[in-house]
Amino acid sequence: MAAKATPSPTLPVSKRFDSASADMTLQSSDNVLFKVHRVNLEMHSQVFADAGGSTVGTVENEIVSLSETSEVLELMLQYVYLQPQPDLREVEWEVMKELAEAVEKYEIYSAIGVCSQRMRECVSDHPIEVLLFSVRHKYTNMMNESAEATLDIPPYTMLSCLPSDVFAAWVEYQQNHHALLAKEFTRFGPSRSHRGVSASCEYWHEHYALIAAMLASSLSREGPPRPRARLRAGSAGLSSVLGASMSSVATGANATGLRSRCDANRNVLLRLPDMLERRQEVGGDKCADCKRDLSYWMSQTERDWRDARKFSDYL
């Protein structure tokens, strides 16, 4: 925040924040003025409250320059006035993430909860940026959810987006995940003889083949670095890079409709129990032993995932 005492009459003023009784003017990074009441800011923002003692009695018409854009300030200031709050689902992502950072920066408590909740809802569309946000502001649950959503993203892409300490933790986390994934291929194997029967079950092979194909499809996603993958987090092109990588993830067998698209975006180990359950339903009437073994497989997979270290444990 930098204060200066020479207001420029030529700058545009926000229509929403243009009160005649205002005693403070904020200037956005794109040079829009917001005429506000100091008491509102001090009541809702810890940072303005803390600065209050040092700025009381300063020049009239003081202008405080902020680093946020007018779009962000227009939304943020609605949280310090007695008025309906904005519907954050209508806010485009680039503005939303800046708003979430701004309310953390100025410690606007009335907005921190809804903004972080909205960020959490955006995990599947913007996993890396939500991961960075949650690490910066220490939201453990959001951090673990978004890290899960990045497991299929190539390390080359992650390297260019994450700070080095976070990337080091992420690599360890992803390696552990690969170990869990490898375990699934050999947990039961392609042929299976049920208890008391010497020949392998004719139905098991199909179950295994379909499950192994699904597990393998996640491995084939990790290709060489994409030409545009060196973009930095926060650059305008990042979301398009991620959009490209996520849409390639969404080409699973049933990637139609929103729900199945989300399912296809979920990590393969998280989808495995559902897959095992479907195999039980489809093949259960053919062989009761296969059904039992699939059920056992499912419980082991779920147990291993539950016991696996979360991303926050690696930081």
Report in angstroms how near the CB of residue 266 gets to Zn ion at its nearest: 28
Can you tell me which of 290, 294, 297, 298 binds Zn ion, judged by CB under 5 A? 290
Report yes or no: 116 and 139 within 8 Å, Cβ to Cβ.
Answer: yes
CA dihedral 56→106→12→57, nearest 10 degrees, is 0
Report in angstroms how near the CB of residue 290 gets to Zn ion at its nearest: 3
Number of residues that bind Zn ion (CB under 5 A): 6
Determine the Cα–Cα distance for residues 226 and 156; give it in Å rounded to an integer: 8
Q: Is 287 in the site for Zn ion (CB under 5 A)?
A: yes
C-alpha closest to that of 219 among 176, 239, 249, 189: 249
Q: How many C-beta atoms surround the C-beta of residue 130 within 10 A?
A: 27
Both tokens of residue 298?
């499912």
Q: Rank residues 126 and 192 by Cβ distance to Zn ion and give the closer one.
A: 192
Q: Is 264 in the site for Zn ion (CB under 5 A)?
A: no
Per-position x/- string for 182-201, each x denoting binding to Zn ion as judged by CB under 5 A, each - no binding: -------------------x
Q: Is 203 in the site for Zn ion (CB under 5 A)?
A: yes
Question: Rounded to the nearest 5°, which phi and psi values hold at 109?
Answer: -60, -30
Q: Rank residues 63 and 294 by Cβ distance to Zn ion and give the closer one.
A: 294
Q: Is 115 in the site for Zn ion (CB under 5 A)?
A: no
Q: Is 206 in the site for Zn ion (CB under 5 A)?
A: no
Determine the Cα–Cα distance for residues 172 and 169; give it in Å rounded to an integer: 5
Q: Rank residues 44 and 291 by Cβ distance to Zn ion and give the closer one.
A: 291
270 burial level (CB within 10 Å; 0-12, 13-18, 19+)? middle
Can you tell me which of 94, 172, 289, 302 binds Zn ion, judged by CB under 5 A? 289
Q: Rank residues 206 and 263 by Cβ distance to Zn ion and give the closer one.
A: 206
268 burial level (CB within 10 Å; 0-12, 13-18, 19+)? buried
Q: Is 276 in the site for Zn ion (CB under 5 A)?
A: no
C-alpha closest to that of 116 among 129, 136, 100: 100
Q: Is 211 in the site for Zn ion (CB under 5 A)?
A: no
Report in angstroms how near the CB of residue 197 gets to Zn ion at its nearest: 9
Q: Is 294 in the site for Zn ion (CB under 5 A)?
A: no
Name the residues that contact Zn ion, by CB under 5 A. 201, 203-204, 287, 289-290
